[in-house]
Amino acid sequence: MANDVGTPKNNDKKPLSSVDPAIEAKVDKMMSPTGAPLLPDDKLPDFDKKQPSGNIKSLATPVADKSPAKEPASATDTETDKAVDEIAEKESDRILAMEDAKAELLSEGTAEIDRGFFNRVKSKFIAFWHNKTIRNSCLAAIFLIVLTVFVIPASRYFILNSLGVRASMSLRVIDDKTQQPLKNVEVAINDKLNKTDIKGEVKLTGIKLGKQHLAVKKPAFADFNQDVIIGWGSNPRGDTALKAVGSRYTFEIKDYVSGKPVINSEATSGVASATANQNGEIVLVVANQNEEVINVQISSKNYRTENINLQVGNNDIHQISLVPAKKHAFVSKRSGKYDLYKIGADGKNEQRVLAGTGSEKEDSIVILPSPTSNTIAYVTIRGERHNTDGFALSSLMIVNLDNDQSETIDYSERIQPIEFIGNRLVYVKISEGESGSSPNRHQLISYDVDTGQQKILAKTNYFNDVLAAKGNIYYAPAAYKVGGNVGLFKISPDGSDRSTVYDKEVWNLFRVAYDKLDAAVGQNWYEYGLDSGAFHPLSEAPAQEESRIYTDSPDGKKSAWVDKRDGKGVLIIYDTATGQDTVRLTEGGLVYPVSWLDDDHLVYRIATSSETADYVISLSGGSPKKITDVTNTAGLDRWYYY
């Protein structure tokens, strides 16, 4: 009987090499020049059927005949053996051709990847998942491993650090006795280093997780060292207190005018520094040294820095009054000429900035301080330039009170400053050389103090009125020889946003409130809302035909103006947020000019038969302080008509 062990079955009677149609086609081409199979499917033997007795050979290796005696082969057996041998040979060649075709097609990207491996993995996973015992045991083991890693800090931090995870830490360093923040304290965690700011606060980033060493150092204080645990995230630590080991020096800092504590003040001596508490008290710790005297600087924003020399070991409480940093400019004729000076608000550090030439005239001198810088616009006659008739021209100068440098930016027969708006000075001048009938005779100009650029905003023969209000300029050209149209116009100081408020000639403008103007048009009166833009008629003329001159604080939150009541001057502070007026001072002789040193300190003038002097007052309280005697000059209180 024939041995069919290992004989492949082909129930569907497909070629043994059938794996992929593309591979089959490739094999057929390789096996036959015509591309047709060398051995059609219907010629292949059906191995599922029992074959006649004889020695049937497998595809791979012929099965040895182990019978004790061989009978003579019949003609049928001989033909069968020959057919089997032919099939084995052909199929072997075809298997080799199939492998070659498959490799070639894979290299060309036209054959599919063998899915056998993935199918085997899939079947093993399915078998694993359906075996509850093995599945639950493996999952429990994985859970225990993960739990161990993340519950045990050392393991967790090691893995996270290996993955490059980093964290940050923040803290505040204070004096353990005063509880005040310490500035410029060196804070380190391993190789990460930073210093505290004025609030004593510091932040370190890029720190490894886990146990780290924190070191805090500042001269005159004991070092602070501690091991800390850095977790994932920001790690806010709170306050770290340092114990002083140097000498302590105590100061009480107050405002010169109001007498109120200056809570933002700071004392420094070399690398040592300390800030004031809510009572204005500073305790400065300085490292012990061999010198007999130490120098301490007391400073605060918008205040003049005070330098103090102290004996080493002096335990007294030192009371310091801080004065506004901005200088006050004034004119004095004490030398016989009109000299320009600057002085501190406490009347100290007076210096002559510009000596008079003898050509000055009191009624033509104007000082207009910038609200945002230590700069003034200064109008005077210095005799440096004359017109064709020999008339000395007025000069408009920009004077820097920080370095006493001055620059003449314009000359004219008459110059009237209007206002500083930001870094731009707005003014009106009579143009030199223009005839009395020229439509360009009067010019409205803005000058950028930072860039030195000058821009003509408007030209006409004559301006009936010009004023500044809430960051804009309002001007009214006269009808005579007008250089353009008549009416009331609004324009920004940089020359943009020019618009017509009213298209008929306006004779006079009066600022009757912070956000309101009254305008005279012939015999009729109109009211204009600066915010609403509404221009509507009034039933009668205003009770007082006088314009308020508002002077805005540097931050724009307040504005000062002077009223007259019962024969006295009244200094009024307008709150731009609430729209409320508050009377700050009532005094005989109180007049313009008014100017701001900062957002809290204001300078005003007293002009009586007994004195002409400038005073400083604080909105925070306290009594006014006299700065110095002055010669009465104009500010923005005189609008003249050409």
102, pLDDT greater than 70: no
CA distances from 624 to 217, 320, 616, 618 (A): 45, 18, 6, 7
The confidence score (pLDDT) of residue 10 equals 43
576, pLDDT greater than 80: yes
Characterize the bridge pairing of strands 524-529 and 405-412: unpaired
With vertex at residue 516, the alpha carbon angle to CA 515 and CA 518, rounded to the nearest 5 degrees, is: 165
- On whether both 232 and 278 belong to a single domain, the answer is no
Q: What's phi and psi for 135, nearest 5 deg?
A: -60, -50
- On whether both 405 and 503 belong to a single domain, the answer is yes
Q: What is the mean pLDDT of residues 93-120?
A: 61
The confidence score (pLDDT) of residue 123 equals 77
What whole-number distance in Å separates Cα of residue 51 and Cα of residue 641? 135
Dihedral of CA atoms 51, 53, 57, 58 in degrees, nearest 10, equals 40
**Segment holding 64, helix H or strand E:** none
> What confidence category does residue 89 fall into, taking pLDDT thresholds of 50, 70 and 90?
low
154, pLDDT greater than 70: no
Furthest C-alpha separation in the chain: 161
134: in domain = no
What whole-number distance in Å separates Cα of residue 602 and Cα of residue 642? 32
Given 322, 342, 368, the domain boundary residue is 322
What whole-number distance in Å separates Cα of residue 490 and Cα of residue 469? 10
148, pLDDT greater than 70: no
Q: What is the mean pLDDT of residues 309-315?
A: 90
With vertex at residue 232, the alpha carbon angle to CA 228 and CA 238, rounded to the nearest 5 degrees, is: 50
- On whether both 401 and 510 belong to a single domain, the answer is yes
Residue 593, preceding peptide bond in cis (omega within 30° of 0): yes
> What confidence category does residue 109 fall into, taking pLDDT thresholds of 50, 70 and 90?
low
204-213: pLDDT as tens digits: 999 999 999 9
The confidence score (pLDDT) of residue 31 equals 56
Of 506 and 21, the structure prediction assigns the larger pLDDT to: 506
- On whether both 230 and 253 belong to a single domain, the answer is no
DSSP secondary structure string, 158-205?
A: HHHHHTT--EEEEEEEEETTT--B-SS-EEEETTEEEE--TTSEEEEE
- On whether both 509 and 538 belong to a single domain, the answer is yes
Instruction: Find the CATH number of the domain harbouring 513.
Output: 2.130.10.10
Number of domains in the chain: 4
* Burial 554-576, CB ≥16 within 10 A → b, else e: beeebbbbbbeeeeebbbbbbeb
Q: What is the mean pLDDT of residues 460-476?
A: 94
Q: Do 609 and 628 form a contact (C-beta atoms < 8 A)? A: no
Find the range with the poorest average confidence among 119-133, 435-449, 592-606, 611-625.
Answer: 119-133
> What confidence category does residue 15 fall into, taking pLDDT thresholds of 50, 70 and 90?
very low
Of 434 and 626, the structure prediction assigns the larger pLDDT to: 626
> What confidence category does residue 404 fall into, taking pLDDT thresholds of 50, 70 and 90?
very high
Amino acid, single-letter form, for residue 201: E
Q: What is the mean pLDDT of residues 122-144?
A: 75
Q: Do 326 and 314 form a contact (C-beta atoms < 8 A)? A: no
The confidence score (pLDDT) of residue 97 equals 64
Domain range enclosing 272: 247-322
- On whether both 451 and 394 belong to a single domain, the answer is yes
- On whether both 261 and 354 belong to a single domain, the answer is no
545 token code pair: 């035909």
What whole-number distance in Å separates Cα of residue 177 and Cα of residue 173? 12
Sheet of 625-629, strands arranged across: 590-596, 601-607, 612-618, 625-629
- On whether both 300 and 362 belong to a single domain, the answer is no
626: in domain = no
261: in domain = yes
450: in domain = yes
Q: Do 599 and 553 form a contact (C-beta atoms < 8 A)? A: yes
- On whether both 219 and 261 belong to a single domain, the answer is no
- Average pLDDT over the chain, rounded to an integer: 84
166, pLDDT greater than 50: yes
The confidence score (pLDDT) of residue 67 equals 46
213: in domain = yes
Of 143 and 566, the structure prediction assigns the larger pLDDT to: 566
- On whether both 179 and 277 belong to a single domain, the answer is no
101, pLDDT greater than 90: no
The most confident of 27-41, 80-94, 122-136, 594-608, by mean pLDDT: 594-608
The confidence score (pLDDT) of residue 222 equals 95
312, pLDDT greater than 50: yes
The confidence score (pLDDT) of residue 220 equals 93
Dihedral of CA atoms 218, 223, 229, 231 in degrees, nearest 10, equals 0
> What confidence category does residue 403 fall into, taking pLDDT thresholds of 50, 70 and 90?
very high
pTM of the model: 0.73
- On whether both 222 and 347 belong to a single domain, the answer is no
Q: Do 325 and 401 form a contact (C-beta atoms < 8 A)? A: no
> What confidence category does residue 578 fall into, taking pLDDT thresholds of 50, 70 and 90?
very high
Of 159 and 379, the structure prediction assigns the larger pLDDT to: 379
The DSSP code for 244 is B
597, pLDDT greater than 80: yes
220-242: pLDDT as tens digits: 999 999 999 999 899 999 999 99
Sheet of 167-175, strands arranged across: 201-207, 167-175, 236-242
Q: What is the mean pLDDT of residues 550-579?
A: 96
> What confidence category does residue 57 fall into, taking pLDDT thresholds of 50, 70 and 90?
very low
Instruction: Find the CATH number of the domain harbouring 301.
Output: 2.60.40.1120
- On whether both 468 and 337 belong to a single domain, the answer is yes
Q: What is the mean pLDDT of residues 336-343?
A: 97
353: in domain = yes
Find the range with the poorest average confidence among 1-15, 91-105, 438-452.
Answer: 1-15
The confidence score (pLDDT) of residue 388 equals 83
Q: What is the mean pLDDT of residues 77-98?
A: 63
262: in domain = yes
Burial class (CB in 10 A: 0-12, 13-18, 19+), 550: buried
> What confidence category does residue 39 fall into, taking pLDDT thresholds of 50, 70 and 90?
very low
Given 285, 302, 322, the domain boundary residue is 322
The confidence score (pLDDT) of residue 85 equals 63
Given 50, 82, 114, the domain boundary residue is 114
> What confidence category does residue 348 fall into, taking pLDDT thresholds of 50, 70 and 90?
very high
252: in domain = yes
